């Protein structure tokens, strides 16, 4: 797991917590922040997946 994947997991977890806390407290702004953090986490995960694919392709070319 590289840095992008770790950031993605952390942002998704933070977003889930914020979104849940916002739902419990009725705070729509906190819910929105949570959703934004979850989306940010998904972007980091996608970036990590792209890096993994590029690394795998480079490794395949070496063989």
What contacts 40, CB < 8 A, 6 or more positions away? 11, 15
Across the chain, what does the average pLDDT equal? 94
What integer pLDDT is reported at residue 27 of this predicted model?
A: 97
What integer pLDDT is reported at residue 59 of this predicted model?
A: 87
Q: How confident is the model at residue 2 (pLDDT cuts 50, 70, 90)?
A: confident
What integer pLDDT is reported at residue 45 of this predicted model?
A: 94
Range of the domain at 14: 3-62
How many Å is the maximal CA-CA distance in the chain? 56
**Mean pLDDT within 18-30:** 97
Angle at 33 between CA 25 and CA 3, to 5 degrees: 130
Using the Cα atoms of residue 22, residue 27, residue 30 and residue 36 in order, give the sign of their dihedral. Answer: positive
Token pair 């702004």 is at which residue?
29
Tally of structural domains, the chain: 1
What integer pLDDT is reported at residue 1 of this predicted model?
A: 76
This prediction has a pTM of 0.82
What contacts 21, CB < 8 A, 6 or more positions away? 27, 30, 34
């Amino acid at each position: 797991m590289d840095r992008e994947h770790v950031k993605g997991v952390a942002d998704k977890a933070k977003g889930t917590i914020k979104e849940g806390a916002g739902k419990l407290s009725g705070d729509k702004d906190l819910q929105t922040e949570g959703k934004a953090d979850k989306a940010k986490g998904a972007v980091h995960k996608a970036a990590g997946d792209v890096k993994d694919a590029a690394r795998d392709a480079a490794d395949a070319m070496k063989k």
